[in-house]
Amino acid sequence: MSNYIPQNEPTEKWWQPFEDTGLFDSGFLDYAVLEQKATTIRHVSALVVPGILQTEQYALALIGIRANISQLMLSKEGEKAVKFRLARQWHLFERSHPPQVFVIVDESALLRIVGSRRIMHDQLLHLLQMAELPFISLQVMPLRSRFSDLLVTGSRSAVQLSFASRKQKKMISIEQMHDVSYNSDNINEVTTFITEFMRLQEDALDPAASIKRIQDSVTELLNGADDSHHET
């Protein structure tokens, strides 16, 4: 494990079966362990639905459309990667005291078809279900909103983690499918992230209006042409 995890604190063991798969670098596994310890998670995602809120089929479809790992699914390793993502979700949200999760997702992620209309429909319904949980605040950033560097960063999912333990510094991470391209506990970077995140919260639709926008997207999908046999 990296220096981001205090050596005198026990780490969760659920992730160990995935450690020897060769799919994930150590930085990503470190992040997954830290994610489970977080008391507050701030997550920005501009292009796709955030990983912690993805359905199994949506996640599989994302793997399938990434050209550089198109063979991953065929070799069953893609399924392992998705199982890891689902395991992260389960351990995060089913623990006795779940973290407070603040999510900002760009409206384009609701409109972009991933896999098929059926997969996207089910994903949007899942978002609506998750938004009802008392510890999740989901906001949609309208297309006609101000430009933000954090949204650009969020094209690869930008996350900030805060912890109850004073031994564990707040940190930010740029998450991708199988790794993290950046981890930092630099106080200036973390403070800048939180400040910009709060500005985005002000610009985004409030949670109630966000739920309405997602419901509208579901309706638009139902009214659209059936392309369930034309995978992206």
Closest to 84 in 3D by CA, of 123, 115, 51, 128: 51
Write phi, then psi, for 111 (nearest 5 degrees).
Answer: -90, -25
Residue 10 has pLDDT above 50, yes or no: no
Per domain, the residue ranges of the chain are 34-53+99-223
When pLDDT is averaged across residues 46-62 and rounded to a whole number, the result is 90
Residue 61 has pLDDT above 70, yes or no: yes
Query: Which of helix, strand or coil describes residue 232?
Result: coil
Q: What is the DSSP letter of 168?
A: S
Predicted confidence band at 87 (pLDDT cuts at 50, 70, 90)? confident
Which residues are registered as beta bridge partners of 44? 104, 158
When pLDDT is averaged across residues 35-61 and rounded to a whole number, the result is 91
Verdict on whether the full-model pTM lies above 0.75: yes
Which CATH architecture group holds 34-53+99-223? 2-Layer Sandwich (3.30)
Residue 66 has pLDDT above 90, yes or no: no
Instruction: Round to whole Å and give the CA distance between 195 and 185.
Output: 15
Predicted confidence (pLDDT) per residue in 89-109, tens digit = 998 898 888 999 999 999 999
Q: What is the DSSP letter of 51?
A: G
Predicted confidence (pLDDT) per residue in 179-211, tens digit = 555 678 888 989 999 999 999 999 999 999 999
